Chain A
Amino acid sequence: MLELQGVSKTFGELQVLRGIDLHLRQGTVSGLIGPNGSGKTTLVNIITGVYPPDSGRVLLDGKDISRASADQITRLGVSRSFQNVRIFNRMSVLDNVIAALIGHDKAGLTTLLGRAKRTGDPKVTTARQALKTVGLLEQRNLSASELPLPLRRRLEIARALACDPKVLVLDEPAGGMTPAETASISELIRSRIAPGRTCIVIEHKMDLISHVCQHLCVLNHGEKIAEGDPRSVVSQPEVIEAYLGRV
């Protein structure tokens, strides 16, 4: 499905990622954890084409997408949410999701000049379905800027989900949430988003990770230090040391 082979990235003097290998199995949820500055978001940005890797390859279904642009990678079936929520604030909740579906249209002139929201448009139905999945259908006509943070994060998930991606990347889906909100989004991901879908979840909150992930990878200082079953990974001394320091 998605494979990373020896991916490295440097910004100026700082080497952010060193030879990362990662293999995501189809239909599983993989967690990506690591202390702040370990390179998690950079890795996601490389997977989604925001940055190209300096060396190494990213393969999607065996095809090398390392040099593809972010828009091309999205159209190939990789959707994402952001660590710092990014939504179209001056659009309605429903339009935010429709916006994602427009990106997957063929860019012909007639398509471009066609109405964004025709009555009976399958896009509207798909967008409503995605909003229903994340529990935002009632708020569909609100301006996206009016949503509180937990619902904004849900909107990001709905937007990514609407395109029925091959790979769904969730960057800190519970970032900034209270324990109750975290539990709620964790359950949403486990019961409604993840089943049958290949996902990568980046998160600091271990209760969410252990609740939704079947596979876990740990980064520290840009290197992969552990990988495998979440329970066994979190008990490894290197992982404990990376998070808590030498004890």
Chain B
Amino acid sequence: MPNDYLLTVISNIGMISLIALSAYLLLISGEISFGQQAYFGISAYAGAIATTLWGWPLWLALLFGSSLAALAAGFVGLLTLRISGLYFSIATLAFAEMVRLSLFKLTYQIEIDGELIGPNGAEGFGEIRWIFDNDVSVLEYTLLIYGILLLVLFFLVLIERSRLGMIFRMLGQDPLLTRVQGLNPVRYKVTAAILAGFIAGLGGTLYAHSFTYIEPQIFNMMLGVHALAYGLIGGLGTVLGPLIGVAIDIGFLESVRVIQGYRMVVFGGLVALMLIFMPRGIFDEKRVYWLKSIARRWFRA
């Protein structure tokens, strides 16, 4: 049996992969969001409130938290329709900071078994006990995370092969050209934002129940920067790209003792190198296309 530390690292990879996938969806649609941590955080708080304070089952809390995150993402998507590029990135970052600072002010506590439970501003939100109350082991919870991650991956693979996926990639390359193909970019930009918000939301609720304690500081800019960087390292040519990025950062950099303590230095350097030499990541569209054609030839043979 794997030990709890290893399982925690593995489950962390799974949960962070969800926010990385959400940033990836926006990246392939041509938008760089520094604010996906906001949706992760909104869902973490909403999902945890739903199970801990309202006694909802986890599946319903997941749906609630993620839907709320998707709504917020759709709202931000609508507000930022007329801006793109750097301005969009700054707007998303500003929204995320607004959410984080609002969480510092959020106090909503209910007395349960003689104890006040619930979000309490800067002190955070502890006693998210669903995992203990329902006798869920670390292994079982890790499997749950990976089940959800697989579902999301399956969904994203379907999207990638669909017309919608093609439209996202068209938008990511040239919004004006997409428009003169008869497509309204506004509709698809907002769709991408909502889907990305929902996926980040799934990660948020799972995160809150895995760590049993959350505080506003967790959902800071660094989480958003990491979410972006994973896609940029792993590659934007395939949905597996962000997962490869997460595995490199958390799976490799965190587990190699030699570089422990220097992880962020190595990570930052890696991102800088990638942006210079492989701006669309290890598995960019060209390499993925090349690999697919090799695979096709191999299967034919």
Residues of A whose CB lies within 8 Å of any CB of B are: 48, 50, 69-71, 74-75, 79-80, 82, 86-92, 95, 98-100, 102-105, 107, 111-116, 141, 143, 145, 159, 163
Contact = CB atoms under 8 A, between A and B. Distances in A.
Contacts of B163: 102, 105, 111-116
B174 interface: yes
Interface residues of B, number: 28
Contact of A102 (B158, B161, B183, B293): B183
Contacts of B169: 88, 90-91
A88 B289 contact: no
Contacts of A112: 162-164, 167
A107 B286 CA distance: 29
A89 B173 contact: yes
A51 B187 CA distance: 20
Contacts of A86: 174, 176-177
25 contacts: A70-B176, A70-B179, A71-B179, A71-B183, A71-B184, A74-B179, A74-B182, A82-B177, A87-B177, A88-B169, A88-B173, A88-B177, A90-B169, A90-B286, A91-B170, A91-B173, A99-B170, A102-B181, A102-B183, A111-B163, A112-B164, A114-B163, A116-B166, A143-B286, A143-B289
B162 A100 contact: no
Contacts of B161: 115-116
Contacts, number: 87
A88 B174 contact: yes
Contacts of B159: 113
A89 B164 CA distance: 18
Given A86-B174, A113-B164, A103 B285 contact: no
A48 B176 CA distance: 11
B286 A113 contact: no
B165 to A, nearest CB: 7
B180 interface: yes
Given A91-B169, A143-B286, 9 more contacts: A48-B180, A70-B179, A74-B180, A88-B177, A91-B173, A91-B285, A98-B166, A103-B182, A113-B162
